[in-house]
Amino acid sequence: MRAKVSSSDLGTFREAPRNSLAYRREVTISKGSKVSWNTSQGPTHGQTVEKRTSEFTFEGQTFNASDDEPYWIVQSDKTGATAAHKESSLTAR
């Protein structure tokens, strides 16, 4: 499945690259989804554990989640560590 993005000057549509924000927003992420995200050590893979849509504190840090920009608690496949990430920073696998 490829997302379609508009070309405003021509009024036509073209396919969005798989790694583009337009593509990532079309793919639905739900609890238990396999996802990947970038870290300073490189790409990390894991699964979603819980979706947050209101302000919350996780591991001593406050996050301003909303319906428009939800956060997900994710668990790393490699280490089992959990972290909070914006949905827009996650890529469905």
Asked if 69 and 87 count as a contact pair (C-beta separation under 8 A), the reply is yes
Which residues, including other chains, have CB under 8 Å from residue 11's CB and lie 6 or more apart? Answer: none
Higher pLDDT, 87 or 16: 87
pLDDT tens digit string along 25-83? 556 899 999 999 999 999 999 999 999 999 999 999 999 999 999 999 999 999 999 99
